[in-house]
A and B are shown apart, each in its own frame.
Chain A
C-alpha cells in the first residue's frame, strides 16, 4: 500500500466505514494504484458510482478490494469530474469491465481505455441515465409502441363453432 505514494487529500468530510483503509485516489493514478493491489493479491469486490453533481459537480467512484487470506478491505474513493472520462481499470481487474459499463449507462460517466463501453443492463439504445439524481421519468418514446398495440383479433384464435 505504501507504494501508492501520496494520494489526493480528501475533498470532503464524508466518513467511510466498513473498510480497513479508505483513501482518496486521483483519477490519473487509479490504474497504477489498482495494479499495486492486483499484484498484492487483492480481488475486485465492488464498484459504486455516487451522483454528487448537485453539491460538488462530480461523481464519487468507490472501488473496494479485499483479500481472501486475511480479509482487509481497501476502498478507493475517486472524485471524478462529470465531464472527464475516468481511466478504465478493466485491464487490471476483469470484473471492472461490467462495472464500468454499468456506471456508464446509469450515470453517463465515460471510461477511457474501456474495450467495449456499451449498454449492459438497459436495452440497447437507451438514451437516458436513470440513476442520475436529475432523472425523474423515462421519456415516453422509450416505450416500444408496437408492444402496446392490441393483439390481432381472430387471427391468432380460430373461431369457435357454436
Chain B
C-alpha cells in the first residue's frame, strides 16, 4: 500500500475546508513544479538497461541537469522507479514490494523492451520472465529500445516531468 504523507493529508483537509471560498490549484501547481524538477530515482538495475541508466547518470549525459541525478538506494527515499532490465518471474514480487515501499507521490519509467512487453526474451512457452512491468504495477512512461540510449531515457524523463507539471497522476482522469 502506498503512503499518504502528512502534507497531503493536510492539503486534503485544507482543500475541503476552503472549497467554498478558494481553490488551491496554485499551491498544487507549485508543488508539482518542485516535484518534477527534483525526481529522486531508486538505485535499482535489473540487467543490460541498467548500464545505460548508469551512463545517463554519469559524466557525458549527466542526469543532474534535469534534477534527477540523486539516485537513492532506499525505496523509502525515492519517488521515481526506473525499471531497467528484464523482469524475471523470481524478481517480479520483489519489484512489487519495492514499489509499494516507495512513498507517494511516485512515478515509474519502464526502460527497454523487457519491462514493456518482455522484449527479446518473450516467445511462446517461455517460463522465466514476467512479460512487462505493467502486469503488476503502473507505469507512467515507456522508453522503448534494447537497450534505449541514454538520450532516450532523458527524453522519457522529460516527458515524465511534463506530465507531473500538468498535475496528472494515476487513479485520476486528468
Chains A and B touch each other in the complex, with CB atoms below 8 Å apart: yes
Given A123-B90, A144-B93, check contact A157 B169 (CB 8 Å). Answer: yes
- On whether the beta carbons of A151 and B125 are closer than 8 Å, the reply is no
Kindly state whether residue B28 has any CB partner on chain A within 8 Å: yes
Contact flags A145-162 to B (C-beta < 8 A → 1, else 0): 001110111111111111
Please give, as numbers and ranges, the residues of chain B lying within 8 Å of A153 by CB-CB distance: 171
Kindly state whether residue B8 has any CB partner on chain A within 8 Å: yes
Contacting residue for A156 out of B23, B25, B124, B170, CB 8 A: B170
- On whether the beta carbons of A161 and B137 are closer than 8 Å, the reply is no
Closest to A136 in B: B125
Kindly state whether residue A113 has any CB partner on chain B within 8 Å: no
Closest to A151 in B: B138
Please give, as numbers and ranges, the residues of chain A lying within 8 Å of B136 by CB-CB distance: 147-149
Interface residues on A, range: 20 to 34
Q: Is the interface of A mostly helix, strand, loop or mixed?
A: loop
Contacting residue for B90 out of A122, A149, A160, CB 8 A: A122
Kindly state whether residue A137 has any CB partner on chain B within 8 Å: yes
Could you tell me the distance between the alpha carbons of A98 and B85 in the complex, rounded to whole angstroms? Answer: 25
| Residues of B that sit less than 8 Å from A by CB | 1-2, 4-5, 8-9, 11-12, 15, 23-25, 27-28, 89-90, 92-93, 96, 100, 104-106, 124-125, 127-128, 130, 135-138, 167-172
The 9 closest A-B pairs by CB, nearest first: A156-B2, A147-B136, A158-B8, A137-B125, A138-B127, A154-B171, A123-B90, A130-B127, A153-B171
